[in-house]
Amino acid sequence: MNRRPLGRSELVIEPLVLGGNVFGWTVDEKLGFEILDAYVDEGFTAIDTAQGYPNWVPGNPPGMSETIIGKWLKARGNRDKVHIITKVNSAHQPQGLSAEAIRTGIEDSLQRLQTDYIDLYFSHWPATESTHEETLAAYDVLIRSGKVRTIGASNYDAAMMKAAQDTAILKSLPRYEVTQPLYNLYDREKFEELKPFLLENEVGAITYYSLAAGFLTGKYRSNADLGKSPRGGGAEKYLNDKGLGILEALDAVGKELGATPSEVALAWLVAQPGVSAPIASATSVEQVKSLARGVRLTLGDDANARLTKAGA
């Protein structure tokens, strides 16, 4: 399994990132430990979370996902063997990428994760209240102090990425080495607009909603299926002719390769130029094993073209 660099940074990971958004939501601490154990046993290292996961659950204290991951890191004593990815400005808060917000955000995340450094720290959402210079200068302090190794930008378009990079060059500040865009077989527009910048400037991309909120697993094929999972509502927008056409193509390719729709969907993502690794979450150990099979699956040119055409 080929490991991939994240931009021009020192970070190199396998082509899969475990999504931590389900920890503290549909996955409790005990099951979370089992999933994390299974993930590293499969040979993967990168774990994605955020200060805001899953604060959409009523009554949750801040950062439950980070807290569960932190307890696991302490229990396993394996901090140096994994890559921890987290984010600041998860809730579009005022001054969410100001120097003060970043300074306090990193300290809270470090405490919950029970670590003294973050491998990859993301600006979760753009914040127009702060300039790129202020934000990158704050990250520069964290990098110089050893609290952060590399920085990235999530949900930034090409214009934002270029403006941030220009500022980094002009002011001798660290640049965003990685993006985290929405990208899957159905949702193409945002990444396709961003891809030329990524390729030209050697910026990595770890994609979110890689399985389209679970739709590309094939378990949501009618409105009746949506109520079968707490996450079903997120898949409703994909239940249309385009979405069902994609599932049909995934079924066909999967039958040829002896793979599930989700495994084929991940294999397609891993094969796309500009993609460093897809993010995918799991709610069982068997799902972790399926994610691993997916990113190790090789698609032929014909299968790749058929899938690409289905989602066009």
Asked if 129 and 157 touch (Cβ cutoff 8 Å), the reply is no
| Average pLDDT over all residues of the chain | 95
Q: What is the pLDDT of residue 220?
A: 86
Neighbours of 123 (CB within 10 A): 27
Range with lowest mean pLDDT among 35-44, 58-67, 73-82, 250-259: 58-67
Asked if residue 223 has pLDDT above 80, the reply is no
Give 1's pLDDT tier (boundaries 50, 70, 90). Answer: low
Q: What is the pLDDT of residue 65?
A: 98
- Kindly state the percentage of the chain with pLDDT values over 90: 88
Listed residue (2, 18, 10, 8) closest to 206, CA to CA: 18
CA distance 110 to 1: 31
What average pLDDT does this structure show over 187-196?
A: 97
Residue 166, token pair as written in the block? 């220009």
Asked if 123 and 101 touch (Cβ cutoff 8 Å), the reply is no
Say whether pTM exceeds 0.75: yes
Q: What is the pLDDT of residue 59?
A: 87
Q: What is the pLDDT of residue 293?
A: 98
Q: What is the pLDDT of residue 268?
A: 98
Q: What is the pLDDT of residue 227?
A: 72
List the Cα angle 10/153/82 in 5-degree steps: 40
What average pLDDT does this structure show over 145-174?
A: 98
Which CATH number describes the domain made up of 4-310? 3.20.20.100
**Helix ranges restricted to H, the chain:** 29-41, 64-76, 99-113, 132-144, 158-171, 189-201, 223-226, 241-257, 261-270, 285-296, 301-310
- The DSSP line for 138-192 is HHHHHHHTTSEEEEEEES--HHHHHHHHHHHHHHT-PPP-EEE-B-SSS--HHHH
Q: What is the pLDDT of residue 130?
A: 93
Asked if residue 230 has pLDDT above 70, the reply is no
Per residue in 287-307, pLDDT tens? 999 999 999 999 999 999 999
What average pLDDT does this structure show over 72-97?
A: 94
Active-site residues, by number, are 53
Give 258's pLDDT tier (boundaries 50, 70, 90). Answer: very high
DSSP-derived pairing of the beta strands 83-88 and 118-123 = parallel
CA distance 228 to 241: 21
- Alpha-carbon distances of 211 from 10, 75, 111, 189, 295, rounded to whole Å: 28, 30, 31, 16, 12
Asked if residue 231 has pLDDT above 80, the reply is no
CA distance 145 to 129: 25
Identify the burial level of 194 via C-beta atoms within 10 angstroms of its C-beta, where 0-12 means exposed, 13-18 middle and 19 or more buried: buried
Q: What is the pLDDT of residue 224?
A: 76
Range with lowest mean pLDDT among 8-17, 63-72, 92-101, 149-158: 92-101
Q: What is the largest CA-CA distance in the chain?
A: 55
Listed residue (278, 273, 274) closest to 296, CA to CA: 278
Contacts of 221 (CB under 8 A, 6+ apart): 239, 244, 247
CA distance 81 to 283: 22
CA distance 225 to 272: 30
Residue 234, token pair as written in the block? 């997120």
